Amino acid sequence: MPSQSRDSQRYPPLERVPRHVGIIMDGNGRWARARGLPRSAGHRAGTENLRRVLRAAVEFGVQVLTIYAFSTENWSRPAGEVKALLSILERVIDRELSELYEEGVQLRHIGRRERLPPKLRQKVKDAVELTRSKQRLILNVAFDYGGRAELVDAMRRIIADGVPAEQVDEPLVSRYLYTAGLPDLDLVIRTSGEMRISNFLIWQGAYAEFYVTPALWPDFGKDEFYKALEDYNQRERRFGLVPG
């Protein structure tokens, strides 16, 4: 109980908690380079950090967390780095899936699966199925994901379903996205100080608040996450309207 009391003093309850938070996890390579380590070591450190952020998201009351793990453009990185990232995803599923299940985390994959190795593709599918009924936190892992690719895929499915052009509107498009049924983004966090959206949830984040921190992703812990949520609480969300 004393530790809970200290936490409530350190992290006072927030008046408004964003339902859906997206994180562009940037800076693994720079973190590793600063320590004289290979980039793969930075990616592993970033993966370890994800545990802390997941626990913090649950504690602070976030309902949906989307992490940008691997973009459609990342396939053009050096083959060794791509292989390391695929291996990390597989190890995370092997090591963390049972704990995620016990903690009530629903795991979803958003993005394309065709380019994943068959064994990894099956593991992703099995993990999604196993956790489908969990509701404490929905964790979207954006792997082989691109916002433009998502819109292309949505348009293709709409055409394949024979939807007449006059019936295509924003709610319908949303139902064809990878995130169908989930609320749009409220807050996008980008680590490492970069001021780019990088093709991340460009439809869902149309009116999201954007928060940038200089912290590199492996160093972005509970304190940094709380700062981002505090900053969000100071924003006046306008959704294209004039101030009230």
CATH of the domain at 112: 3.40.1180.10
What residue numbers bound the domain in which 74 lies?
A: 15-146+185-231
Q: Active-site residue 26, yes or no?
A: yes
| Annotated catalytic residue within 26, 28, 49, 186 | 26
In a domain, residue 158? The reply is no
Decide if 189 contacts 17 (C-beta within 8 A): no
* Residue listed under structure tokens 């983004």: 185
In a domain, residue 100? The reply is yes
Residue 164 has pLDDT above 90, yes or no: yes
CA distance 144 to 115: 8
Indicate the average pLDDT of the chain.
93
For 11, counting Cβ atoms within 10 Å of its Cβ (0-12 exposed, 13-18 middle, 19+ buried), the class is middle
In a domain, residue 169? The reply is no
Amino acid 237: pLDDT: 77
What's the pLDDT band for 242 if we cut at 50, 70, 90?
A: low
CA distance 25 to 232: 18
Total tally of structural domains belonging to the chain: 1
Beta bridge partners of 211: 189
Q: Active-site residue 74, yes or no?
A: yes
| Annotated catalytic residue within 7, 28, 49, 74 | 74
Q: Which long-range contacts (CB under 8 A, 24 or more apart) does 233-242 make?
A: 233/14, 233/15, 233/16, 235/209, 237/186, 237/207, 237/209, 239/207, 240/207
What's the pLDDT band for 1 if we cut at 50, 70, 90?
A: very low
Beta bridge partners of 57: none
Residue 2 has pLDDT above 60, yes or no: no
In a domain, residue 237? The reply is no
In a domain, residue 50? The reply is yes
Amino acid at 124: V
Percent of the chain with pLDDT over 90: 86
Amino acid 4: pLDDT: 54
In a domain, residue 178? The reply is no
Average pLDDT, integer, range 179-187:
98
Residue 63 has pLDDT above 80, yes or no: yes
In a domain, residue 31? The reply is yes
Amino acid 238: pLDDT: 72
Backbone φ, ψ for residue 153 (5° rounding): -60, -40
In a domain, residue 60? The reply is yes
pTM for the whole structure:
0.92
Residue 80 has pLDDT above 50, yes or no: yes
